[in-house]
Every structure is written in structure tokens, then in C-alpha cells.
Chains A and B, each alone.
Chain A
């Protein structure tokens, strides 16, 4: 018992003040990219050719954040002249098209479907489906339940049964072997319900795009309401998206 108390004192209170107070991530963190429009075309071409995810469009000079895995290669190659990553982790969108970007996303809170805020603003229960996710997406969703993020203080909870849920949160590129289970789980959630695609995989197939063993885009199976980019999305990216879209 004494040890429990001693540890309790040592651990103290660790819950972050975000979103009331901003939070700074270490400068190496790769969040929202800033895409330089005046960079020489050869350099843009070089980055586009080298990009492992083939998600840089040379003509529009946009990056598809739904496919980008934030590997940082374009920043290294262009020495920041074409792409520079900021530590801004706030990157959720309500439309797939908005993820093709120069680094300026529309404010998520204004694009939320209004009735979702009314329905789920005070209480949101989600069923998580890992559909061939590599478990980094899953792990960084799970940490929202740790004391630092303490998701439940916002009335948001991950629940065990789809029957108790208001929506699904899907990670992974949806393997062919998870196609049916994903659909069945979604069908088991009572309407009205929301669908969240989290991570490059669920949005576009991510690192596995083009594999015949995956569906690769959740939107092909069920209509998606909220997109959270990243590989994996930082827990704060997910937290920001949930708070702005539903609150």
C-alpha cells in the first residue's frame, strides 16, 4: 500500500492541457507540410520522382496528404526549398479532396456535418476496426486512453461492441481478408452513424497501395465522414480531429 502511495506521489498529475493550451512537439516532428510555390521546377520534379508514395503532383505542386507517409524525403532532397514540414499536427479534413494541399487545410470545425455535433457533441462512442493496420495506427489511437491524453474527459470513448457505438474508426488498408468483417461491423452499428478513416492506409492504401490483397480505400466500401492523415496520425492529430469535428 505504501508503495502505491509513493508511486502515486511520484507520478503526480500528467494530463495535458491541450486544447485549452497549445502543445509544442519537438522540432523534428513532421506535421503539416508547407509547400513552396516558387521553387524551381526541376527540384519539384526531382522530389516527385523520388517520393516513395508518388503523392506529389508536379503541375499543381500539391501533396496528397491522404497518401503521404511523412517520410521526410522531399524535405531532405529539396533542403526545405520545396517542402518543409511544420510541427503543426492539426490535419483532419471532412473531404478527401481537401487533402490535396499546399499546406493550408480548411478549418475542420466549420466543415463538420452540423447534425453530428448535435448528436455526438456531448457523447461519442466509437468502435475501432483494425483492417490490416500495421498496429502503429492502432497503438497511437489506444494511447488516447492513457492519462496524458485522457480522451474520456471529452465524452469520447472506444467501446467493445459495434451495437453500443455511434460510429467506426477504421485503420489499415482493408485487406481482402478483412473486407467482410469490416462491412459486417459497420452494418452492426445503429444509424445515424459516422465513419472515420484514420491513417494513410485507410484513406488510400498507404504503403501497400497497388497490392491485389487489399481494398485500399475505405471510401470504396462505405462513405467516409472524417479523414485523419498520417502514418500513423500523431495522437494529437486524432484528438484535434475528433474535438473539432464533433464538439
Chain B
């Protein structure tokens, strides 16, 4: 990594200061870095004045950035041939900008849309045809092998996606997950719509991660436009992010219990999750935190009244949550199903760069709140995880622990009694020819937004990465050699985002 530049989270850089390397040096250094344990935060292509470029942000316990010109003939030897960490990123680069990663072991479309450049399609798709277009699914041959196809429209109230299982009897050899049905063209919208629409779109990239994504965008814009956020606003933002985490973890633990046919906790947690959403509504008027975080601060002040409502409700709910969790985790019939189901070993988790609780449940301790703290996190205690075996039980246990940790964080912050400044929509002028990358630990894991501006301070490239971009591969791996009837359980233990992935 000699040539990569070390940067801070949310640090604004002049683009001229980003090391611009010859392609092969860029490639070799990234590979060497990945081999030494670094992970990819961002790796994408963009176009400027007719020429194609690439940019990458890698992380160890620090963040690093470098860029390069894309190779002249629109192809390059795939990094994925040497390291799995680049797998999805190279498919995305092919789909978005028509740059072909040659020798990529599974060069398939990601979301199924025309590329942005008018170049020949890397996958030879004809987009007048319906998704998934011109590409086979991975199949396993053999007389006893059969295929199970599920989706895009699923049997519940849930987003669409297609799952293709290769099975021998009940045993799954391989699961391929084909997404793209939720593609709304978010990155292109960010680059083209009036500035006032940005937070509305950021909040709806993935509804259950409203605060996570919107926070990344707000921080990136604050960095580019030199806006300061007061302490009271930071406190509200941190509380909102932790509230989002608690609500989602509780909902999923209830759903996990339902998936193993233990109904009472599902009913209780179903309702209790709603109570936490209602706390978000007390903060900002919306159950998902819509309209709360904006560049420059927060739109609603948390005053004594709200602080008191929040503390009282938390004091009432926390023991209930503990009791229901105890009910789930002490039921032998539940544990029998959670234990050793859907295991992703540490080595595989590291290879595909799992993030968030899914990564922590495999022993990858990365937590962006600790490594690259924003808002109030530098002053708050970190969490630790007791069980890291990579199975459903570990993912459930990590989430149980995180509920209590987040509750403690919120209680600490409620003690502070600092009101946010009242919100006046600020004048926003983005610095020209600049770069910023923003990383936050949303409830599913690392969310990252990256913005490049052009000479006029307009957005040249806006890159969004949801944790699900890494973790869907983890779900596919967890199904290997597992009974197909355990799919709902494995799926819920990850609970990944379709729209966050599909953007």
C-alpha cells in the first residue's frame, strides 16, 4: 500500500491530492493490501470529460484511497481471479461503466440495467428482455440433483429477489441469489436531481436504514460544504442510529423465533419493535426517522419533554426485552435449531469481507463506530461479543448483545441534556474538485457514501454502498450443505436489504 494515501473518515480532499497510479500498480497494490487483510470500502469507476477512471478506498484500522485511469481498451485482468474481496465490485464496474474484468470467475450482471456510457454491454444483454437477461445460473449436474427456484415475488410482505438452490434431496449444494428487481437508479438520481431532493432519496435507499444512509450523506455534504454540527444535534443523530439498530434487531429476533415455530416471543417482539419505532416518532415525527437528519444538524430539538418520554419508555421496555430474550435463548427447542445452523467460517467471512453483526458473529470484530467514529461514538464504550462461531446462534446472540449495548448508549446520551440548535436550512455550496468518503456503522453494518465533485462544485459521481453488498454472498455461503428448510432461518439471521443492494 506504499502509494495509497491514508485519510480520515469524512475528510474532504482535493481530488488532485489523491494518488493517481498507473493501472497495474493500482491493481497490484490493492491485491497485496487485500492479501494482508485489508478490506474494500469502495471500488468504482467514473467518467470525467470522456475518460474513464477508477477509484478505491480500502480499510485496515485506517482508511486509504487511490485512483487510476481505466485501461484503454475497456478491459482489465480481474482482481477477483486472485482475491474474492473484489467479486461484487468488479461485476458492478462492468455493469455501470462497461469495463470488463477479464478472467472474473462469475462475471454476471448485478442489477440488470444498461451501462451509463453507451459502450457495448459487458454481459451481451438485450435490455428489452426481462431480468435476469442473458446469463445462466450456476448449476450442479447429476441424476439426484434438483433445482428449486423462489421469487422474485415472495410469499410474505417482503421485497423481491430470486433464489436458486441446487439440491440433493433436502441438502443444498449451492444457492445463487439474483437481485436487481429493486433497482431505482439511486446513484444516477443523486448526480442529476436538484440538491433539495438528496436527503429524501438518501432516506429511502433502504427504509430500515433510513438514519444510517442519511447520516452518511449528511456527513459527506457537511464535509464538502464546511457545515458544522452542534453537539446537541450529534447526540440526537447518535440516539436515532442506535434506536434504528434496536428496533431492527428486536424485530428480527422475534422473526427468528417464529421461524423455529416458537410463537410467543414473535408476538411480543413484534409489538415491542413498534414501541421503539414510536420512540423514533417522538424524536422526529416519523417511525423510521424520516425528515430528522439534514446537512448541518437535525430538524427537531430533543428537549426535556422528549428526553423524559424516551427515558421513561426505555426504562419500561428494557426489562421486557430482557425477559423475552431470555425466553428465546433458554428454550432448548430454539437452541437446537440455532446451534450449528448456517455456519460461515471465519476464513470465508474474511475472504468475502462480511461486515456488521454478520461479520462480528464470525469473529471479524470490525465495527465502524469503533474504527472510524463519527458523531458521539469516540466517547462511547465499544461492545464485545461472547459467541463468534459464525452460525445462526452467533448472529442472534450478537444482536441480543447489541440491543443492550445500544440501550446503554442511549441512556448515557439522554443524561447529557444538551439541546440541539434549532434548524435553519443552511446555504449549501459544495467545494469544487473534491472528494469525500463517509463510513457509518448502521444496524446491518458498514454503510458508505462517496462523493466526487467537478470543477463547478456539482456532483460528478455519487457512490452508495450498503452492507448488504458484501453480506448477500455470506447468506449464500451459509446455505452450503445445509437443509433447504433452514433457509428461512439463515435468511432471517442475516436479514439483508434488497433495495439497499439494488439501489
Residue numbers of A with Cβ under 8 A of B are 3-4, 6-8, 10-11, 14, 25-26, 28-30, 50-53, 69-73, 76-77, 85, 128-143, 145-148, 158, 160-161, 172-173, 175-178, 180-181, 185, 206-208, 210-214, 231-232, 234
In contact, B207 and A7 (Cβ under 8 angstroms): no
Cα(A138)–Cα(B288), bound, Å: 12
Which residues of chain A come closer than 8 Å to B201, judged between CB atoms?
207-208
Q: How far is the CB of A110 from chain B (nearest CB, A)?
A: 29
CB within 8 Å of A: which of B265-309?
265, 267-268, 270-271, 273-274, 278, 281-288, 290-291, 299-300, 309
A71 adjacent to B291 (CB under 8 Å): yes
A133–B282 touching, CB < 8 Å: no
Using A7-B324, A28-B284, A131-B160 as known contacts, say yes or no to A146 and B270 having CB atoms under 8 A apart: yes
Q: How far is the CA of A161 from the CA of B154 in the complex (A)?
A: 9
Q: Which residue of A29, A53, A142, A185 is within 8 Å of B285 (Cβ)?
A: A29
User: B196, A136: Cβ atoms under 8 Å?
Assistant: no
- Complex Cα distance, B320 from A8, in Å, reads 11
Whole-angstrom distance between the Cβ of A236 and the nearest chain B Cβ: 11
Known contacts A28-B284, A76-B299, A178-B160; decide if A7 and B270 are in contact (CB<8 Å): no
Please, how many angstroms separate the alpha-carbon atoms of A178 and B113 in the complex?
12
Per-residue contact bits, chain B 136-176, to A (CB 8 Å; 1 contact, 0 not)? 00000000000000001101111110000000000000000
Report if B44 contacts A (CB, 8 A).
no
A180 to B160, CA, bound (A): 12
Hey, which chain B residues are within 8 Å of A30, CB to CB? 285-286, 291
By the criterion CB–CB under 8 Å, are A148 and B271 in contact? yes
Asked if A146 contacts B271 (CB within 8 A), the reply is: yes
Chain B residues whose CB sits within 8 angstroms of the CB of A137 once the complex forms: 207
Binding site for A on B (CB under 8 A): 111-113, 130-131, 152-153, 155-160, 180-186, 188-189, 193-194, 196-197, 199-201, 203-208, 210, 251, 264-265, 267-268, 270-271, 273-274, 278, 281-288, 290-291, 299-300, 309, 320, 323-324, 326-327, 330, 423, 425, 497-499, 502
Interchain CB contact under 8 A, B153 and A135:
no
Contacts of A148 in B (CB 8 A): 271, 274
Contact assessment for B270 and A130 in the assembled complex, using a CB-CB cutoff below 8 Å: no
A7: which of B160, B283, B323 is its contact (CB, 8 Å)? B323
Q: Which of B188, B281, B286, B326 neighbours the largest number of chain A CB atoms within 10 Å of its CB?
A: B286
Residues from chain B with a CB closer than 8 A to the CB of A212 are 185
Report the tally of A-B residue pairs with Cβ distances under 8 A.
197
List of A residues within 8 angstroms of B265 by Cβ = 7
Residues in B whose Cβ lies below 8 Å from that of A158: 156-157
List the B side residues contacting A177 at CB < 8 Å: 111-113, 130-131, 180-183
Q: When chains A and B are docked, how far (Å) is the Cα of A7 from the Cα of B265?
A: 9
Report whether B153 and A26 are in contact in the complex, using a CB–CB cutoff of 8 Å: no
Contact status A207-B197, CB under 8 Å = yes
Give the docked Cα–Cα distance between A144 and B283 (Å): 23
Given contacts A28-B282, A173-B184, A177-B183, contact A132 B204 (CB under 8 A): no
Q: Which residue of A lies closest to B248 (CB)?
A: A139
| Contact partners of A130 in chain B: CB under 8 A | 157-160, 182
Q: 6 A–B contact pairs at CB < 8 A? A: A29-B285, A72-B291, A134-B207, A185-B153, A211-B185, A212-B185
- Report B502 CB to chain A, min CB distance, Å: 8
- Greatest chain A CB density within 10 A among B271, B283, B285, B330 is at B285
State A26–B455 Cα separation when bound (angstroms).
46
B204–A134 contact, CB under 8 A? yes
B288 partner, pick from A71, A214, A232, beta carbons under 8 A: A232
For A71, the chain B residues whose CB sits under 8 A away are 199-200, 290-291
Given contacts A72-B299, A143-B270, 16 further A-B contacts (CB under 8 A): A3-B330, A28-B284, A28-B285, A28-B300, A30-B285, A52-B197, A70-B290, A134-B207, A136-B290, A139-B251, A142-B156, A207-B201, A208-B185, A211-B185, A214-B184, A234-B287
**Of the candidates A26, A140, A147, A160, which one forms a contact with B156 in the assembled complex, judged by CB atoms under 8 Å apart?**
A160
B425 near A50 with CB under 8 A, answer yes
Q: Closest A-chain residue to B284, C-beta based?
A: A28
Contact B200 A52 (CB under 8 A): yes
Q: Is the CB of A181 within 8 A of B153?
A: yes
A136 near B207 (CB under 8 angstroms)?
yes
A11 to B286 CA separation, bound complex (whole angstroms): 25
* CA A172 to CA B184, docked complex, whole Å: 10
The reply to whether B299 and A132 form a contact with Cβ atoms under 8 Å apart is no
Return the 4 tightest CB-CB contacts between A and B, nearest first: A136-B207, A213-B185, A160-B155, A146-B270
Find chain B residues with CB under 8 A from A181 CB: 152-153, 160, 181
Q: Which B residues are in CB contact (< 8 Å) with A133?
A: 159, 182, 207, 499
Chain B CB within 10 A, most for which of A4, A30, A132: A132
Which chain A residue shows the least CB distance to B213? A134
| Docked pose: A4 CA to B326 CA in angstroms | 10
Which one of B152, B205, B282 has the greatest number of beta carbons of chain A within 10 Å?
A: B152
Q: Are A210 and B282 in contact (CB under 8 A)?
A: no
Known: A148-B274, A175-B184. A139 touches B207 (CB 8 A): yes
- Which chain A residue shows the least CB distance to B288? A136
B264 to chain A: which residues have CB within 8 Å? Answer: 4, 7-8
Q: Residues of B contacting A53 with CB < 8 Å? A: 197, 200
Residues of chain A lying within 8 A (CB to CB) of residue B288: 136, 139, 232
Q: Are A132 and B181 in contact (CB under 8 A)?
A: yes
A181 to B182, CA, bound (A): 12
B270 surroundings in chain A (CB, below 8 A): 143, 145-147
CA distance A76 to B197 in the complex (A): 16
Partner of A213, one of B113, B208, B291, B309: B113
Contact (A213, B197) CB under 8 Å given A30-B286, A135-B497: no
A25–B281 Cα distance when bound, in Å, is 9
In the complex, A137→B286 CA distance in Å? Answer: 12
Point out the residues of chain A lying under 8 angstroms from B193, CB to CB: 210
Say how far A225's CB is from chain B's closest CB, in angstroms. Answer: 19
A contact residues around B271 at 8 Å (CB)? 11, 14, 146-148
> In the complex the two chains form, is A207's CB within 8 Å of B327's CB?
no
